[in-house]
A and B are shown apart, each in its own frame.
Chain A
Amino acid sequence: MASLYAPPSLRQQHDGKSAETRNLKPGEISSGTTIMAVCFNGGVVLGADSRVSSGTYVVNRVSDKIVQLHERIWCCRSGSAADTQALTDIVKHHLGQISIETGRLPTVAMAAHLMRKLIYGNKDNLMAGVIVGGWDPVEGGSVYNVTLGGSCVRQPFTIGGSGSSYIYGLVDAECRSGMNADECNAFVKKAVSHAMARDGSSGGIIRTVVVTEDGNVRSYTEGNKLPYGP
């Protein structure tokens, strides 16, 4: 009986709602999601599921959560669909402007820090977590995780979204240094499938993009041909 009583402050905070939906406004659409990016020598692989949910209704089962910010810079979106779409529009605009003014490709670090400034500066009004990844002539492949509060952390590989909780053990165990593009692609697909199998807010198909100096290669893994599950 004691466990039924929650102190007033706690009750206001969650009121029975799950973590990915309690900060949304009524009717707001969430991308409760699994996103992932891995660096290899020469580029990065980004991957994401495709389920966009509003409460427990799947609004879009084949959405595209990997946005292109510039020629070789991409961004995986998680959190509120509206907030992340607005953020990526703004960063896309700025990166285009910078590359025209400087005459060079913008760096992934620039894109990640722009994103961080926007999220940190508006942290009370946004619910957005993104993974920025890509290739630039300065660093080669790099991956940055910009979290809900606005921290920006560069990592060799990173996962995000509500489904990522289920695969921390798997990616910690399976990630090796020195993987090539194909191995990274397979690793991303495997990890995202495992997350989709357990997270109710992730599902559908897996989209990936392999970004190198030479170009972007997009691939699409159908929901009935996943490496694992559903």
Chain B
Amino acid sequence: MHTTFHTQSDNARFSCSPLEKFTTRLLYLFLSVIMSLSLPGGPAAHSKMAVGAPSASALQRTRRPMVTGSSVLGIKYAGGVMLASDTLCSYGSMAKFKDARRITAIGGRESFDATSGAPLPPSHPTLLGGGGEYSDYQAIVDMLRSDATAEYCADDGHFQSPEETWSYLRAVMYQRRNKMNPLWNDLIVAGCDPTTKVPFLGSVDKIGTAYTDDVMATGFGSYIAVPIMRERFRADMEEGEARALLEDCMRVLFYRDCRALNRIVIAKATADGGCLVSEPYELETSWDAKSFVSDKAGLGTDGGW
């Protein structure tokens, strides 16, 4: 079959014919399948992540996370679901990467207008937020993106809902746990169902524990943020309220978690199919209470707390 290659011109993406779009996506699919075959232990495309490396022997320990992300928070509100995380990946105690994106939008329907060829906005993508080992999170995002591309190419009108993605990830994480070679992540899956438009928020951890709830947090957030979110959550919260609540929780996490940063990303998925992952921005913090400023370690004190 004769395959056409595109040169990069300004409007190449928006003015190609349906046949060219198809062959480009088919090319990407072939490339991703070929590259996935080179990962250890992976024959079939869909189960390649679940197979993983051969089981560790009794004398070997499981891997330790090297570059890690901290908390991800999630909350449902009236008309959608919202996630928040900071943009820090730590290397042990070092704040190594301060602009790491730990929330990504995956899948959903991308389509082009039949007459003009202009792209329509993507609808009903799934948001994936991850804490834990960053390399494993990136591998999971790549896997889900190539599955979404394969689904697009199948062209059967069906698109995997967020709940289906969450359920699939549960199976993958549990499989790897059984082989004593986990993907060292705590994941949050969020989005709105394409048909029923109901918001979905679910979590999967590195041993395959999966559950859904109206408020969700991973890592330190599960200790510090979840109580705050549970107290202030209402099913009819507006977007601004939900965002303010998430920002308050991220601020407390910045104060109290050694591995947190005050630069955060907020992402939302709405019932009408829209999705937005914001650019990072800095949170305001407060350090000027009088009891903070006063000296505590002068001559007359007890030694400097």
A interface with B by C-beta (< 8 Å): 1, 4-5, 16, 18, 20, 32, 51, 53, 55-58, 60-68, 70-71, 77, 81, 84-85, 88-89, 92, 162, 166, 197-201, 203-205, 218, 220, 222-224, 230
Q: Sort chain B's interface into a size bin.
A: 20 to 34
Chain B residues whose C-beta falls within 8 Å of the C-beta of A162 in the assembled complex: 93
Roughly how many angstroms separate A16 CA and B92 CA in the complex, as a whole number? 9
Q: List the B side residues contacting A61 at CB < 8 Å.
A: 255-256
The CA-CA distance from A162 to B292 in the complex, in Å, is: 23
Contact with A along B228-263 (1 / 0, CB 8 A): 000000000000000000000000000111110110
CB contact between A222 and one of B90, B220, B262, B287 (< 8 Å): that residue: B287
Interface string of B44-63 (1 = CB under 8 A from A): 00000000000000001101
Q: Is the CB of B285 within 8 A of A223?
A: yes
Q: Is B287 touching A205 in the complex (CB atoms < 8 A)?
A: yes
15 of the cross-chain contacts (CB-CB < 8 Å) are A4-B60, A16-B64, A32-B93, A32-B258, A58-B257, A60-B305, A64-B295, A64-B304, A66-B297, A67-B297, A92-B303, A198-B94, A200-B92, A200-B259, A222-B288
Q: Is the CB of A67 within 8 A of B303?
A: yes
CB–CB B261/A57 < 8 A: no
B298 touches which one: A55, A68, A204 (CB < 8 A)? A68
Establish whether residues B296 and A88, one from each chain, have CB atoms under 8 Å apart when the complex forms. no
Question: Is residue B114 contacting chain A, with contact meaning CB distance below 8 A?
Answer: no
CA distance A61 to B289 in the complex (A): 12
Residue of A nearest to B289 (CB): A62
Give me 17 other A-B pairs in contact (C-beta within 8 A), A92-B303, A200-B93, A204-B287 excluded.
A1-B60, A4-B63, A57-B256, A58-B256, A61-B256, A63-B305, A64-B304, A70-B299, A85-B304, A198-B95, A199-B94, A200-B92, A201-B93, A205-B292, A218-B295, A220-B293, A222-B288
Q: Closest residue of chain B to A51, judged by CB?
A: B258
Does B155 sit at the interface, judged by CB under 8 A?
Answer: no
Task: Provide the main secondary structure of the chain B interface.
Answer: loop
**When the two chains form their complex, are residues A224 and B95 in contact, meaning their CB atoms are under 8 A apart?**
no
- A residues near B284, Cβ cutoff 8 Å: 224
How far is A63 from B61 in the complex, measured between Cα atoms in Å? 39
- Chain A's nearest CB lies how many Å from the CB of B89? 11
A62 CA to B293 CA, complexed, in Å:
8
Q: Is the CB of B258 within 8 A of A201?
A: yes
Q: Which residue of A lies closest to B219 (CB)?
A: A56
Do B304 and A63 touch across chains, with their CB atoms under 8 A apart?
Answer: yes
Known contacts A32-B93, A223-B287; A230 and B262 CB within 8 A of each other: yes
Which B residues, 92 to 143, have Cβ-Cβ distances below 8 Å to chain A? 92-96
- CB of A72, distance to nearest CB on chain B (Å): 11
**Bound state CA distance, A86 and B220, in angstroms?**
31
Q: Cβ of B295: which chain A residues have Cβ within 8 Å of it?
A: 64, 218
Nearest CB of chain A from residue B93's CB, rounded to whole Å: 4
Bound-state Cα–Cα, A147 to B216, Å: 44
Minimum distance in angstroms from B108 CB to a CB of chain A: 35
Contact, CB under 8 Å: A64 / B261:
no
Cα A203 to Cα B285 in complex, Å, equals 13
